[in-house]
Structure 1
Amino acid sequence: MKFIAGTLLAAGLILPTTTAIAADSYGGGAHAWSPAAGGDSGKIAIKDNSNDGDPAKAEYFRTASPDTKRTLWNHSGPGTTVYSGDGSRIYKFKACDENDGTPDDCASTWTIP
């Protein structure tokens, strides 16, 4: 009985899991992460954590169109989260707090999930 339990425990440690761990990006009051919505590597989320009246956005690239920068806007207000539709894998992204008339507060580097 101990041999079977030990074998099952060891097998559980070796097998990979299907749930991906999300990578995070912060810029100003914005928080973006991917994979989002159940570990789907084709989805990204953006949360507005500031009460400054400006929207938050996630700028990101997908593997199917690697030269096209996409933007997911969150115009829903402070404390809310917006999710992208599903698509090809997101391979880099950054969070930004949009500022009218001045440069946006964006993460200083691209995050690789």
Structure 2
Amino acid sequence: MTISGAKKFAGLLVMGAVVMGASPAFAGGAASYSPSGAAYSYTYGNNAWAADKQNRNGKSYAEFWRTGADSSYHLWNKGGPGTTAYSDSIPSMAIYKLRACDWVPDNDDDCAGYSYTG
């Protein structure tokens, strides 16, 4: 391998590490698409926060559980396409499971299966 080839290879390795590090799944976080694909929920910041991004029209929420909590938390996003809602951080209570849900008026909501951190 030439010097310039080695530099290119090293650059590709660094770029790959950056991309993988930015992904919640690779960082030990949880991530979930709602069944319709209208929303994407994920954890970040060592699983201290949750986010819910609207991909299309509709209302969605992230349902997540924190260590030491007796019930789930809900993060609603009613802002429309392209908006993201963010939860508060509770550093001593990390999120350990999360799922994205589509709100269905006057019916049971449509939720994905849980994604676990780890």
Q: Do residues 101 (structure 1) and 106 (structure 2) align? A: yes
In the aligned structure 2, how far is the partner of 1:57 from the partner of 1:47?
9
Q: Do residues 23 (structure 1) and 30 (structure 2) align? A: yes
What aligned pairs does 1:1-113 form with structure 2 within 5 A after superposition?
20-27=27-34, 28=36, 29-35=38-44, 39-51=45-57, 54-65=58-69, 67-87=70-90, 88-107=93-112, 109-113=113-117
Q: Once superposed, which parts of structure 1, at least 4 consecutive aligned residues long, lie more than 6 Å away?
A: none
Identity of aligned residues (%): 40
How far 1:21 moved relative to its partner? Answer: 4.6
In the aligned structure 1, how far is the partner of 2:55 from the partner of 2:107?
19
What secondary structure is seen at the aligned counterpart in 2 of 1:44? strand
In the aligned structure 1, how far is the partner of 2:56 from the partner of 2:99?
17
- Unpaired runs of 5+ residues, structure 2, are 1-20, 22-26
Normalised to the residue count of structure 2, the TM-score between the two structures is 0.67
What secondary structure is seen at the aligned counterpart in 2 of 1:68? coil
Normalised to the residue count of structure 1, the TM-score between the two structures is 0.70
Q: CA RMSD in A?
A: 1.6
Whether the aligned pair in 1 keeps the contact of 2:30 and 2:98 (CA below 8 Å) is no
How many equivalent pairs are there?
88
What secondary structure is seen at the aligned counterpart in 2 of 1:99? coil
- Unpaired runs of 5+ residues, structure 1, are 1-18
